[in-house]
Amino acid sequence: MAISKGKNKNGSVILIKQPWVTEKAVNAGALRKYVFMVDDKANKPEVKKMIEKIYSVKVADVNITNTKGKSKRLGKSLGKISGFKKAVVTLKEGNTIDIMPK
């Protein structure tokens, strides 16, 4: 489920880009923790509000990490992979999100 970046019909900015689906992130779901890629300008209160609105759940905690881009070399060429920001969202007891790709 990819949530596009930009503005929705109300004119508000969409901060949640997509769920981060890796083996480690999916296994954290057992602990009520879910990982999302978010916009670079997103902060904890905004992410909490958007997750509660989109998935109709109650959020207990939000942790955000900002990952720097890496340099990559292909022969003589030197390039860069852009960085990203991700949010680890912990839900309150009894709430779950189904983010597995179909």
Q: Where are the beta strands (DSSP E) in 41-83?
A: 59-67, 70-74, 77-81
- Report pTM: 0.77
In whole angstroms, give the CA distance from residue 24 to residue 28. Answer: 6
Are 71 and 25 a contacting pair, CB within 8 Å?
A: no
pLDDT tens digits, 40-57: 989 999 999 999 998 999
In whole angstroms, give the CA distance from residue 43 to residue 30. Answer: 25
Domains of the chain: 6-91 (3.30.70.330)
Handedness of CA 54, 56, 62, 65 (dihedral sign): negative
pLDDT at 1: 45
pLDDT tens digits, 66-95: 999 999 999 999 999 999 999 999 999 998
pLDDT at 99: 76
